[in-house]
Structure 1
Amino acid sequence: MPKLSKRTSPFTDSVIRRMSRLCLEHDAVNLSQGFPDFDPPAKILERLAECTREDVHQYAITWGAANFREALAKKQSHLMQIPVDPEKNITVTCGSTEAMMAAMMSVCDPGDEVIVFSPFYENYGADSILCGAKPIYVPLIPPEFNYDPKALQAAFQRHPKALILCNPSNPCGKVFTEKELNEIADLAKKYDAYVITDEVYEHIVYPPARHIYMASLDGMADRTISCSSLSKTYSITGWRLGYVIAPEKITEEIRKVHDFLTVGAAAPLQEAAVSGLQFPEQYYQELQDLYLDKRDYFCDGLRKIGLNISIPQGAYYVLADISEYGYDNDEQFCEDLIKKVGVGAVPGSSFFAEDENRYIRFHFAKKKETLDEALRRLSALPEKMKSH
């Protein structure tokens, strides 16, 4: 038989999804894959029920239903403080995963280099490889997860095509400061690079941190490709509704890639989600309050168990240091955690470009009773995991 493509050989399947499957197999509390176990807003579900009886079951416009793009443009123009034209600047995608891939494929040629902060969401490495681009990793240094400005400048001096910015960051929960974002912006302008942002956690930020859109900074609207989704904001991760906001010329290229990747996102789900895009600002404040309570409650529980953790500034993940348990392999630790303790987490090594085995990632987008059960099981961690 002919050899298979070399393109996919450098990476494995998703470690996150693998841990979810293992959780199902062993009836573990799944704090690995980041999806809520509570319902989306009632208004969105009510509108979805109505849509089943309406004529929205065929293809929408490839780059997104008109009313969805119009509602999104109104919301994001207000938040981003830049004009967003629903006809010229928006492409609706099958989740932010496709949004990032379409953005990467639209600006990168084989051999181009792309800056990626490490730790990073595992898809970014795969996206780079599938595009034929080469990642330049710049470390975010634990426990604060700040970068070394000299290391970032050295990366830009290699004249990369783009920098990928996850803000707030998955997995470490870092929210980039205005000073840091301006440093990145100045280097992107100086070295003529794009910035591709992943901002799916834009509404899950904990004071005093605040989210600032890269595209809103001086001179950055023309070179920023903003990717996001409705998954986390409205607790509808299974709906796979993402989007890209970009300048018109870039949008034209993204739409070509999107058309041949997936044709379009689900039409009835777009129709139902319009109601969420029209929520008042109070909704986003309540969402922030909800996750702030969950963060504080869960992190306090982890500390009482004795885990050394970094408190996230945004998103709904927390990294825990497992050094004291003596494992050389954090993936083995996570497998044992599922089998012996009954709680799922993600090995930190799947996020780091560096040789790093100290961390595992939990998520806390769960009901209080789910977090209580997870913490109850994790209380046995010192007894069950030190004897491996």
Structure 2
Amino acid sequence: MHRSSFPASSKLPDVGTTIFTRMSLLAEQHQAINLAQGFPEFDCSPELQQLVEKYLRQGKNQYAPMAGVMALREAIAQKVFEGCGTEYHPESEITITSGATEALYVAITTVVHPGDEVIVFEPAYDSYVPAIELCGGKPVYIRLDPQYKSIDWSFVRSKISGKTRAMIVNTPHNPTGNVWTVDDLNELAKIAEMHDLLVISDEVYEHIIFDNRKHVSASSVAALVERTFVCGSFGKTFHITGWKVGYCLAPKHMTTEFRKIHQYLVFSVVTPFQYAIAEYLSDPDHYLSLGAFYQRKRNLFNEAIMGIGFNFEPSAGSFFQNVSYGSLSDENDLILAERLTSEAGVASIPMSPFYNGYSDFRVLRFCFAKHDDTLLRGAERLHKVVW
């Protein structure tokens, strides 16, 4: 039988199985405690589940509008207005997406053309660069330490060229846990205005922020609002990562172009979930209490791993804690992460895959979005490691 030949050249030749899949499979193989992949171990609110059932039974089971259920877009508009004082029109400036990953992909695809350069701060979440490359764009890296305290904005300026089209930012940051300040966003705005750049802002951990810090959204900076795609998600906020419901905020003319791609990628997002989330958002405490919830878990885990010999600063946001093991071992991070999984029964994520090329800072990332008992058992096992 004749078979058509598959193109010999890959569109993503450097992309293989993600480190998240790799470490989770290894954790399953060794029955290890999985503090690697970033998803909550606990279920979502029973109230939210009941709302889904309510809308299922009401027959909200057909296609949603391409841009999303209006009730959810209106709820997001109200939430953003209350949080940062910026008005987004539900009809023309808010789009419901299949998780933040789709929102990010569509935003990148909307603005990046062959030959365009895109500024990427690394360590970077792994979906950014493949999307840039699929569009024929070129990522330009701003390399930061895994536990960076500040950004050298003069260095960022030195990376801007006549080909620079956009910048991708992420706060609270995965995987570092860093939180950008007002000064950071203002510097970003100055650069974007000066060079007429578009911005794609990944803000999925917006409500997971600690120690009285405040999330500064690109939506709250007037000079950024007019040139930014703000990508958010309910997955991390409401412990529903499997629902894949996200959204994108952008000015009308940018949203028009965004939706041209969104409609042919997924068209619409699961309908009853949208109605359920819209109603659930009516009580702001459902998301405003999230920071305190995760701060307690961060503190529990950090106190439990004290004395091992890790060096770390408490995470400022997200549900990840990075630790440096440089004083304990000379092993590279991937080898150590695999050894801890197989020998100690605790899975983590090495930092090097978040960088372009190999960069071993001897840092591991642990996810503390787990039951207290899971965190304590994981810490107990780490204390028994023979370094």
Q: TM-score range by the shorter chain?
A: over 0.9
Distance 2:185 2:357 in 1: 23
Q: Is the 8 A contact 2:147 2:176 kept in 1?
A: no
Any gaps of 5 or more consecutive residues in structure 2? none
Aligned residue in 1 for 2:239: 235
Residue deviations 1:252-280 (CA, integer Å, cap 9, x gap):
11111111111211112112211222222
Describe the superposition over 1:305-332 as per-residue Cα deviations: whole angstroms up to 9, x where unpaired. Answer: 2211232111111111132454543222
Structure 2 residue 337 is the aligned partner of structure 1 residue 297: no
SS in 2 for 1:56: coil
- Give matches, 1:367-378, under 5 Å: 367-378=371-382
**Residues in 2 aligned to 1:165 and 1:214: alpha-carbon distance in whole angstroms:** 9
Q: Deviation per CA, 1:151-180: give whole Å up to 9, x if none.
A: 111122455111101000000011111111
* Secondary structure of residue in 2 paired with 1:319: strand
Partner of 1:288: 291
The structure 2 residue matched to 1:133, chosen from 137, 145, 148, is 137
Deviates more, 1:115-124 or 1:298-307: 298-307
| CA separation of 1:18 and 1:122: change in aligned 2, threshold 3 A | same
Name which of 45, 49, 53 aligns with 1:49: 53
1:335 correspondence with 2:347:
no
The Cα of 1:202 is off from its aligned counterpart by 0.5
User: Offset of 1:143 from its aligned partner?
Assistant: 3.5
1:100 corresponds in structure 2 to 104
Please give the TM-score of this superposition, normalised by the length of structure 2: 0.94
CA drift of 1:15 comes to 1.0
Q: Equivalent residue for 2:326?
A: 323
Is the CA contact (8 Å cut-off) linking 2:238 and 2:287 kept in structure 1? no
- Counterpart CA distance in 1 for 2:175 and 2:371 is 20
Q: In the alignment, is residue 149 of structure 1 matched against residue 153 of structure 2?
A: yes
The one-letter code matched in structure 2 to 1:363 is C
The answer to whether the Cα contact below 8 Å between 1:138 and 1:147 also exists between their aligned partners in 2 is: no
Kindly report which structure 2 residues correspond to 1:200-211, keeping only aligned pairs within 5 A, or say none. Answer: 200-211=204-215
Shift of 1:201: 0.6
Q: How many residues align?
A: 382
The worse-fitting range, judged by mean Cα deviation, of 77-86 and 190-199 is 77-86
Q: TM-score, normalised by structure 1?
A: 0.94
* Structure-1 separation of matches of 2:91 and 2:17: 36
- 1:351 has 2:354 as partner: yes
The correspondence of residues 1-388 of structure 1 with structure 2, limited to 5 A, is 1-280=5-284, 282-353=285-356, 355-357=358-360, 358-381=362-385, 383=386, 386=387
**Equivalent-residue separation in structure 1 for 2:289 and 2:375 (angstroms):** 20
Q: CA deviation at 1:136?
A: 0.9
CA contact (8 A) 1:159 1:193 kept: no
Structure 2 counterpart of 1:304, one-letter code: G
Superposition deviation, residue 40 in structure 1: 1.1
Q: Report the CA distance between 1:228 and its aligned residue.
A: 0.7
Q: Which runs of 5+ in 1 are unaligned?
A: none
- Give secondary structure in 2 for the equivalent of 1:377: helix
Aligned-pair CA distance for 1:12: 1.8
Partner Cα distance (1:6, 1:232) in 2: 32
Name the aligned partner's letter for residue 161 of structure 1.
R
Identity of aligned residues (%): 35
Opposite residue 66 of structure 2, the aligned amino acid is T
Separation in structure 1 between the aligned mates of residue 322 and residue 49 of structure 2, nearest angstrom: 33
Cα displacement (A) at 1:241: 0.3
Residue 145 of structure 1 deviates from its aligned partner by 3.8
CA distance in 1, matches of 2:288, 2:350: 32
Provide, for residues 228-267 of structure 1, a one-character-per-residue CA deviation record: whole Å limited to 9, x for no partner: 1001111111100011100111111111111111121111
The secondary structure found in structure 1 opposite 2:159 is helix
